[in-house]
Amino acid sequence: MDDIFSNQAPPTQISQSLDNVEDHLYQLSGASSDADPWLLRHCKFDDYGVRRLFKVHIRNAGGVPTREKIPAHFLVGERVVYDAARHEAGIDRHHDLRTELASPELKVASRFMKRVYPLVPVLSRSGMNLDAVHGLPSLEDLNGIPAHLLAAIYGSALPFASEDSFLYLMTSHEKPPMSKIWFMVYKFICENIHSPRLSLIQASILYIHRHVEDEHSYGVADTASVWSIIGMTVGLAHSLGLNLECRLFGLPHEEKSLRRRLWWALYIEDKWASLLFGRPPYIRSSEWDVSEPDDSDFVTTSERDPRSAADVSISFRHMASLAVIAESIQDGLYSLRASQKLSEDIPASVAAAKPLLQSLSAWRESLPLVGGHHSLRETAAGTQGPFPATIYQGYLTLLVYIWRALLRTTVRSTDPPVVIHVDDLPESANLLRDVDWGLHLLPDLNIEVQESRGVQSGIVKDLYEAALTCGSNVLDFLSGLDSHAFHEFWYSWSRKSFATISNFLTLLLVQAPDFSEAAWIAEHDLNNASESKIGWIFSCYAFFLYFGGAQVGPIFDAYDIRVLLIPGSIGFILSMFFLSLSTDFYQYLLSYGVLGGVSASLLFNPSLAAIGHWFQKRRAFATGLACTAGGLAGIAFPLIILFVSPRLGFAWAIRIIAFACLVCLVVACISLRKRLPNNKQAGASIDLRALADLSFATTTLSVFLIEFAVFIPYTYIVSYALRHGFEIRQAQMLNVFLNIGAVPGRALSGYAADRFGTFNTMCVTAAACTLFILGLWLTADGNQAKTTTFVILFGFWSGAAISLTPVCVSRVCKIEDYGKRNGTAFFAASFGALVGVPISGAIVDGSGGNYMGLIIFAGVLYALALLTFTIARGIAGGWKTCLF
């Protein structure tokens, strides 16, 4: 045993690379592994820290153990040992990827070092003999890079080829095969997980951050495959011991620096992806001890002074420290235990958020000074600091997450529904009769809730005002982004936030015009106008929104989607600007009713039609999920008007909304795409001949009636409340509650439609809305509790009228004609939207301000819509019970 074990450690150990040993691979022997590291520390090691056995050897990391560190040993084996696992899995040795690539271009590597390396420093500058981050490596150095890593470098750098005149000319005539390059990288990663090296970690990190520009690409920022690749890469990193502090290891300096940078690059992606995807992180804080990166991790073998690497390391170091704060935010505010504890506890949430806000403030103060100020100036639109825009976005995103967690405490969650097992459905009626609902306790419960909220009303008000300030700062930053910012490198998770912004406007904001403006206009500039006259403003908006569909739909089928989005975006922003300047009735009518409606039609119809292109099996759920943001818009914009108007005036409240629309529309024009090719043979004219199809005609009639009915409560609920003595703020909050109910209603109606049938779901929701209008709203008589209950219930059940009507149209037409048929259907529905609101206003005026006639009128319309949907369902899907 004496030839194997020793009581003394060798006095010295020669530094030697782990990753560059020919035909050998290695993995860490963990603290609880079968190869006990506390036993291995007693082994005799040679001058290189190696204890040679048969085919698997033990490599002492060197420099450990210390009092703070556990013993660190690596099991080093010949490649044939690891290849055995590959053969068992049926994987052949991968051929050299270099044969699949074009000749290495030095300028491509230069683009990578300039654009990608400062934020994802996964390469070794020493290994490429680079002293400057913008330098050019030699061809010999590039040939020494593993082919799969070289392919990842190509894929990461080619999106910036336009910055180099030579690369621009080379790529302008023949598009680089980006999908093929990344597929080669992905295939190599999957086939070599049995034999990991640092180059595999490097390629995996670059693959996670790949630039997705092909509309048919399988990779997007938030797919399950990307999340799985992050988890796999974290597992490989643990196998190679990257989670251990390696500064004392007996390894070359450049290899230790690379290991530390790789760990922090992976840590950044894990923390941001887990926060934005809402999933538990793969990296646990108790399982790693790598200190934060500093300038010494970026020096090359020819550089001696760490200060020489400060310009190279500054972006990555600040992003790493920001990721640490992101982990604290997720753990302290959004983990399962934290959410359960803080969701309705305002004081505890504030206490948890304060240190996080202080950490963000300290991070901001640590930034370098530019012109006497810290470089991150989120309130100065257009200001470009020394950091890429993705870091600025990260800082503001964390602020948003903190304020979002604080605001969730201001509204109590409702009690969960009674769950009935599907096998118990025949007895469900008896079960519901036997349940003690405790309705006699509602008045007392209502008083308790009001009192508990009243004590903290000042805190809630301050939270909302601070959150609005945060939102204003975010809008200022986004509106200040110029074209140069969008040509920078962005982290992969950045795409998720831009996708959210795009969805917020194009599929939701334009679809849900802010009817709370009607109450404001009636109380101010048009206080002498009648209800029916004011209603014409919003009915014209709805009319042109749907009327334009008859022409917009065929144009969508025949031409590129941006032919509609760009002029629609310009017109909508102009309409909001002119609305803020309006004072007379005709100005409101022309700016919002006409120009706003026409512009919205150019955005609304192609946005919905584009969803139909990309989804077949889950089309209803996808449409419903997208339409949930309409409820979010209906929540956000009334609050902006409600809180900003008293301070800055109604005009500036509208302009703030317009600025938000401008940013969102720019992103929408960039991101929205069609899947099917342009069908110019079908023409771009109105297709009224489609009404000869009986199933399509009855479906169109159903859409006409439900669009006739649905806008009546949305438009007049606020004025109804004011007429019955509600305070102005209470009345306008009804519109917010209406949209709070609409958010889950639109999503769940889509899910129900996919499971039970689109027309079946429409019939059920139409019946429910009829019941609530005639049974609850009609009997409310101005009672605040009943009115609020009606608003929330109607918002929930009426969501299908917004999200499922396009899906109903798609069920009675071919997908290639969907744009044209959808436009034709809403062309007919536009006349219902045009006359529905003014007729309802005329009923109120003719009744001397009594709203009973309006409510009955809305209920009858919904009942007729129920009848026609039932008939349409029978004609199109048959009269037997089925999923249709």
Q: What is the pLDDT of residues 370-401, one digit of tens each?
A: 544 445 544 333 334 567 788 888 888 888 78
Task: Kindly report the three-state secondary structure assignment for every residue of 390-447.
Answer: HHHHHHHHHHHHHHHHHHHHHCCCCCCCCCCCHHHHHHHHHHHHHCCCCHHHHHHHHH
Q: What is the mean pLDDT of residues 25-50?
A: 71
Let me know whether 530 and 583 are in one domain: yes
- Strand-strand pairing, 373-374 and 24-29: unpaired
Q: Count CA atoms closer than 13 A to 267's CA, side-chain side.
A: 31
Residue type, 614: W
Let me know whether 533 and 677 are in one domain: yes
- State residue 806 phi and psi, 5-degree precision: -65, -35
Residue 882 lies in a domain: no
**Confidence tier at 70 by pLDDT (50, 70, 90):** low
**Do 685 and 516 contact (CB within 8 A), yes or no?**
no
Task: Tally the domains of the chain.
Answer: 4
Residue 95 is classified by DSSP as P
Domain end marker among 64, 93, 122: 93
**Confidence tier at 282 by pLDDT (50, 70, 90):** very high
**Do 333 and 353 contact (CB within 8 A), yes or no?**
yes
Which has the minimum average pLDDT: 171-175, 431-435, 494-498?
Answer: 431-435
pLDDT at residue 778 is higher than 80: yes
**Confidence tier at 435 by pLDDT (50, 70, 90):** very low
pLDDT at residue 242 is higher than 70: yes
**Confidence tier at 265 by pLDDT (50, 70, 90):** very high
- Whole-number pLDDT of residue 684: 46
Structure tokens that stand for 514 in this block: 């802010």
**Confidence tier at 456 by pLDDT (50, 70, 90):** very low
Let me know whether 452 and 528 are in one domain: no
d(CA 423, CA 418): 15
Q: What is the mean pLDDT of residues 355-366?
A: 89
**Confidence tier at 79 by pLDDT (50, 70, 90):** low
- Whole-number pLDDT of residue 698: 87
pLDDT at residue 118 is higher than 70: yes
pLDDT at residue 533 is higher than 70: no
Nearest to 796 by CA among 765, 842, 823: 765
pLDDT at residue 327 is higher than 90: yes
Q: What percentage of the chain has pLDDT greater than the value 70? A: 62
pLDDT at residue 328 is higher than 90: yes
pLDDT at residue 791 is higher than 60: yes
**Do 322 and 363 contact (CB within 8 A), yes or no?**
yes
**Do 402 and 333 contact (CB within 8 A), yes or no?**
yes
Let me know whether 519 and 483 are in one domain: no
Higher per-residue confidence, 757 vs 619: 757
Burial 638-653 (b: 16+ CB within 10 A, else e): bbbbbbbbeeeebeeb
Let me know whether 165 and 84 are in one domain: no
- Whole-number pLDDT of residue 624: 55
- Whole-number pLDDT of residue 196: 82
- Whole-number pLDDT of residue 264: 92
Q: What is the mean pLDDT of residues 843-865?
A: 86
Rg (CA), the chain: 32
Residue 311 lies in a domain: no
Burial 721-737 (b: 16+ CB within 10 A, else e): bbbeebeeeebbbbbbb
How many Å from the N-terminal Cα to the C-terminal Cα in the chain? 78
- Whole-number pLDDT of residue 803: 72
- Whole-number pLDDT of residue 379: 37
Higher per-residue confidence, 442 vs 202: 202
Side by side, the strands of the sheet bearing 73-78 are 24-29, 73-78, 56-60, 50-51
pLDDT at residue 269 is higher than 80: yes
pLDDT at residue 189 is higher than 90: no
Measuring CA to CA, how many Å separate 501 from each of 344, 530, 629, 636, 703?
27, 37, 10, 13, 29
**Do 711 and 845 contact (CB within 8 A), yes or no?**
no
Q: What is the pLDDT of residues 706-742, one digit of tens each?
A: 877 887 888 888 888 878 878 777 777 887 788 788 7
Higher per-residue confidence, 192 vs 412: 192
Q: What is the mean pLDDT of residues 92-115?
A: 61
Let me know whether 811 and 792 are in one domain: yes
Let me know whether 72 and 118 are in one domain: no
Residue 682 lies in a domain: yes
Residue 409 lies in a domain: yes
- Whole-number pLDDT of residue 412: 60
pLDDT at residue 609 is higher than 90: no
The phi-psi region of residue 130 (left if phi > 0; otherwise alpha if psi is between -120 and 50; otherwise beta) is beta
**Confidence tier at 66 by pLDDT (50, 70, 90):** very low
- Whole-number pLDDT of residue 266: 93
Residue 350 lies in a domain: yes
**Confidence tier at 322 by pLDDT (50, 70, 90):** very high
Helical H segments across 724-816, by residue range: 728-756, 758-772, 778-780, 784-797, 799-803, 805-810
Let me know whether 642 and 586 are in one domain: yes
Angle of helix 310-329 relative to helix 389-407, nearest 10 degrees? 10
Burial 776-801 (b: 16+ CB within 10 A, else e): bbbebeeebeebbbbbbbbbbbbbbb
- Whole-number pLDDT of residue 73: 73
Highest mean pLDDT among 10-19, 259-268, 413-422: 259-268
- Whole-number pLDDT of residue 260: 92
Residue 684 is classified by DSSP as S
**Do 237 and 27 contact (CB within 8 A), yes or no?**
no
Q: What is the mean pLDDT of residues 848-877?
A: 87
pLDDT at residue 349 is higher than 60: yes
Let me know whether 598 and 516 are in one domain: yes
Residue 437 lies in a domain: no
Let me know whether 67 and 128 are in one domain: no
**CATH number, domain containing residue 501:** 1.20.1250.20
Domain end marker among 78, 93, 108: 93
DSSP secondary structure string for all residues of 31-71: TTSSS-HHHHTTB---TTSEE--SSEEEEE-SS---SSS--
Higher per-residue confidence, 424 vs 561: 561
- Whole-number pLDDT of residue 216: 41
Let me know whether 847 and 862 are in one domain: yes
Q: What is the pLDDT of residues 642-664, one digit of tens each?
A: 677 667 777 788 888 888 888 87
- Strand-strand pairing, 73-78 and 50-51: unpaired
d(CA 714, CA 719): 10
- Whole-number pLDDT of residue 104: 47
pLDDT at residue 680 is higher than 80: no
Helical H segments across 524-676, by residue range: 531-547, 549-558, 562-581, 585-588, 597-614, 619-648, 650-671
- Whole-number pLDDT of residue 458: 52
d(CA 257, CA 264): 11
Which has the minimum average pLDDT: 91-95, 230-234, 326-330, 742-746?
Answer: 91-95
pLDDT at residue 420 is higher than 70: no
pLDDT at residue 324 is higher than 90: yes
Measuring CA to CA, how many Å separate 453 from each of 193, 349, 425, 459, 842?
55, 15, 39, 10, 39
How many other β-carbons are positioned within 10 Å of the β-carbon of residue 400?
Answer: 15
Let me know whether 113 and 181 are in one domain: yes
Which has the minimum average pLDDT: 350-359, 482-491, 587-596?
Answer: 482-491
Structure tokens that stand for 732 in this block: 């306008």
Which has the minimum average pLDDT: 221-230, 428-437, 647-656, 764-773?
Answer: 428-437
Sign of the four-CA dihedral 101, 107, 112, 115: negative
Reported residue count of the chain is: 884
Residue 362 lies in a domain: yes
**Confidence tier at 442 by pLDDT (50, 70, 90):** very low
Residue 764 lies in a domain: yes
d(CA 203, CA 185): 7
Q: What is the pLDDT of residues 292-320, one digit of tens each?
A: 988 888 876 555 555 555 567 788 888 99
As to burial, measured by CB atoms within 10 angstroms (0-12 exposed, 13-18 middle, 19+ buried), residue 821 is: buried
Domain end marker among 434, 462, 488: 488
Q: What is the mean pLDDT of residues 502-513?
A: 34
As to burial, measured by CB atoms within 10 angstroms (0-12 exposed, 13-18 middle, 19+ buried), residue 286 is: exposed
Measuring CA to CA, how many Å separate 503 from each of 213, 499, 608, 640?
18, 6, 11, 19
Enclosing domain of residue 761: 493-877
Higher per-residue confidence, 208 vs 223: 208
